[in-house]
C-alpha cells in the first residue's frame, strides 16, 4: 500500500487510455498533500484517475502482461521516485522497461514546475510567506 512513508502510483496503458491508480485510503495509508496534488494533476493532464486496491501478485502479473507500464512513489521530500524493479517473496520483476516512464516524468515536471514557480499554479496551492514584522509587498533580502 505504501513505501517508506511514500504513496505508490500505478500507471496502466499508454496514450489516451492511460489510467493512473493509487491505493485507496483505508486507514493505514498516508493521506498526504503530495498524494492529493498528484491525483489532481493527473486528472488535469487528461489521465483517467482512480483509487483502488492492488496486491503483489496482481502487480507482478500486470507488469508481466504489459498492462502496468509505470510505477512511482511520491512523498514530500522525494516528490516522485520512479520504481524500475520490485523484489518480493515471490521473486523479482521489472516495471515497464525499468526506466522512468513518460507519465511519471510528466507528473514530476508538473509538480516541480508549480513548486518552483515556473508553471502556473491554477489550484492556489502556493502561498507567499512574508517575514514577521514586514508588511506584505516589502522586498526581502536573502
Residue 122 CB partners (closer than 8 Å, separation 6+): 44
What's the pLDDT score for residue 137?
65
| Ramachandran sector of residue 138 (left: φ over 0; alpha: ψ -120 to 50; beta: rest) | beta
- Hey, where are the domains in the chain? 2-116
Q: Which three cell numbers stand for residue 62?
A: 500486470
Q: What is the pLDDT along the chain (142 residues), one digit of tens a residue?
A: 445 578 899 999 988 899 999 999 887 777 788 999 999 999 999 999 999 998 999 999 999 999 999 999 998 888 999 999 999 888 899 999 999 999 999 999 999 999 999 999 999 999 888 888 877 666 655 5
What's the pLDDT score for residue 116?
93
Residue 31 near residue 24, CB atoms below 8 Å: no
| Overall CATH class of domain 2-116 | alpha beta
What's the pLDDT score for residue 76?
83
pTM to 2 decimal places: 0.85
Average pLDDT, the chain: 89
What's the pLDDT score for residue 136?
67
Bridge pairing between strands 91-94 and 68-75: unpaired
Amino acid at each position: 500500500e505504501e513505501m517508506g512513508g511514500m504513496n505508490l502510483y500505478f500507471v496502466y496503458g499508454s496514450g489516451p487510455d492511460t489510467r493512473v491508480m493509487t491505493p485507496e485510503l483505508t486507514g493505514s495509508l498516508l493521506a498526504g498533500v503530495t498524494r492529493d496534488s498528484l491525483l489532481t494533476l493527473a486528472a488535469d493532464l487528461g489521465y483517467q484517475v482512480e483509487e483502488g486496491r492492488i496486491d503483489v501478485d496482481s502487480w507482478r502479473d500486470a507488469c508481466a502482461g504489459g498492462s502496468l507500464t509505470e510505477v512511482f512513489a511520491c512523498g514530500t521530500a522525494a516528490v516522485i521516485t520512479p520504481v524500475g524493479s520490485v523484489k518480493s517473496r515471490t521473486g523479482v520483476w521489472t516495471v515497464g522497461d525499468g526506466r522512468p516512464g513518460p507519465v511519471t516524468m510528466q507528473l514530476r515536471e508538473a509538480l516541480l514546475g508549480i513548486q518552483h514557480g515556473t508553471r502556473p499554479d491554477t489550484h492556489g496551492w502556493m502561498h507567499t510567506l512574508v517575514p514577521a514584522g514586514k508588511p506584505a509587498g516589502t522586498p526581502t533580502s536573502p
